[in-house]
Structure 1
Amino acid sequence: MRIGILGTGAMATALGGAWAAAGHDVLIGGRDRAAAARTAARTGAGGHGDLARAAAHGEVILAAVPAAVAPELAKEYAGLLAGRTVVDCTNPVIPTDDGLVLSTGGAGSVAGLIAQAAPGAHVVKGFNLCHESIWTLSPPVFEGVPLAVPLCADDPQALARVARLVTSIGCTAIPCGGLVRAAYLEATAAFAIGAWWSGAQPRAAFPSPAEAPRAA
């Protein structure tokens, strides 16, 4: 699959490297072309260039930029993104005295803002619940279970396309409803990151239903 990545930071490097290793055609794009070249070299991506080239390259476009920037880029490149699947892996979280909170105030999601900014694109929320280092594992398996990747999307074909990217790196896709539910994934990220920072293990709060005692 052809994947264009907008951004040259940690998530671009980690996911770009995982997808390149899985045999996908990855192109890294950035405003700083030298940074794009360095990221492409680190990931094994097949090419690099500016953001416009990355936006025009892929069947799937990964927005791996700061959450506050993603809707602006979507608006700037809306014409190139039309008809393409756009994956939003951002987390709009900001630290406060009360812990992490959502910069969106919980009203909507960054994924929704991207969809509004580029109405011709098919936006999928996903890959936002794990630290970038997790995507460098091959494959990401914990206690014998492949990592699950929740996805929210309105377009069935876009969802299926991203689900194939999930499975291609050894993970399991979990469809979680339409894009209106993307705000819940962003809120979950705020909860999980806050728990990690406090030294807790978020998954301990979610035991498997199969482990619950059965009523007599």
Structure 2
Amino acid sequence: MRIGILGTGAMARALGEQWERAGHDVVAGGRTRGGLRAAAEHGTDAVLLAVPYAAVVDVVAGLAGTLAGRVLIDCTNPVGPDFGLLTAGGPAAAERIAAAAPAARVVKAFNLCHESVWRLTPPVFAGRPLAVPLCGDDADALAVVRRLVRDLGCTPLHAGGLDRAGLVEATAALLIRLWVGEGADAQAIAPPLEFAGVSGSAARAGRRSGSS
């Protein structure tokens, strides 16, 4: 695939380097509008949005024409002081991004982990590959992002449409507070599937939905 990355920070480098190892053609751009536009134009298959949340709407709005029809992957987190959610009470970050570039096909993904996790080859813990929730409304765009998730050695999970992206963003805010603010093992808050009150048939259906 041809992947453009808007941003040159730690997340951009970590994901970009892994996708390059998987054989994709990756170009990242940042700081100048020309650099961002060149990266967006390169991303004919997908564009990763990896700039600070405070800048995302302006960046996307300025590139709305270039991003039209493209798969736009939002890995940003609208987390502010004291780990609060900056979008509380309003549209999710992913929804604001979609509104700024209405012809782009936005998918929320890759926002739950620190960049150091994406540098692992692969991110597998206690024999279990990392699961990556995806939110989006375009089936073809979701298929592209599922492939990119698998190319990292991870498992894609269907988390619903873009209207559920706010739940994933709120989860990130909670996890960041627990990890950074409390030094807690946040992974321990969720029991294994067999103890989650989910029937075997429902669990199998969920796994099929996430891997499709």
TM-score for the superposition, normalised by structure 2 = 0.89
After the TM superposition, which parts of structure 1 deviate over 6 Å for at least 4 consecutive aligned residues? none
Aligned residues: 196
In the alignment, does 2:13 pair up with 1:13? yes
Counterpart in the other structure of 1:157: 140
Could you say what secondary structure the match of 1:194 adopts? helix
In the alignment, does 2:42 pair up with 1:52? no
Query: Using the alignment, how far apart are the partners of 2:31 and 2:172 within structure 1?
Result: 27
Could you say what secondary structure the match of 1:91 adopts? coil
Percent of residue pairs identical: 57
Structure 1 residues not aligned, in runs of 5+: 34-48
Query: Using the alignment, how far apart are the partners of 1:190 and 1:129 within structure 2?
Result: 9
TM-score for the superposition, normalised by structure 1 = 0.87
Counterpart in the other structure of 2:64: 78
Contact 1:106-1:187 within 8 A present in 2 as well: no
CA shift for structure 1 position 31: 2.4
Q: 2:77 aligns with which of 84, 91, 103?
A: 91
Q: 1:210 aligns with which of 171, 182, 194?
A: 194
**Higher-strand-fraction structure:** 1
Counterpart in the other structure of 1:26: 26
Q: 2:175 aligns with which of 185, 192, 197?
A: 192
Query: Using the alignment, how far apart are the partners of 2:89 and 2:190 within structure 1?
Result: 22
CA shift for structure 1 position 213: 8.9
* Aligned alpha-carbon RMSD (Å): 1.6
Structure 2 residues not aligned, in runs of 5+: 199-212
**Higher-helix-fraction structure:** 2
